[in-house]
Amino acid sequence: MTGEQGTGPGGHASSTGQALTGSDWLDVHFEMARPEYEAQLRAVGIRPGWRVLDAASGAGSFLSWLAELVGPSGRLAALDLAPDNLALVERRVAA
């Protein structure tokens, strides 16, 4: 590694020098593993009106799907230790 920052999709700088930023990598990973993740969540049986916490939410890849499951009568919260991830989640939810 040269120590230079790579540029990911959308021109976002990557501190690792990789082509994808952390959030881009999480999004790609989620899309590739979506069937497995959705099968696991279906097995839980999340229903409208439930309160769900997405702990270690990362870039919030699950949030729109979870929001559909809990519906307008449910509650959905996201938690992550990385402030950058939470800021991205807030921007995505507002969009």
pLDDT of residue 55: 92
> Where do the domains of the chain lie?
21-94
Of 14 and 28, the structure prediction assigns the larger pLDDT to 28
CATH classification for the domain delimited by 21-94, as one of 3.40.50.740, 3.30.70.20, 3.30.70.1710, 3.40.50.150: 3.40.50.150
Neighbours of 22 (CB within 10 A): 19
pLDDT in tens, 19-69: 555 667 777 777 888 889 889 888 999 999 999 999 988 888 888 889 999
CB distance 7 to 18 below 8 Å: no
Please, which pLDDT band fits residue 77 given cuts at 50, 70 and 90? very high
pLDDT of residue 20: 52
The predicted model gives 14-18 an average pLDDT of: 53
CB distance 20 to 28 below 8 Å: yes
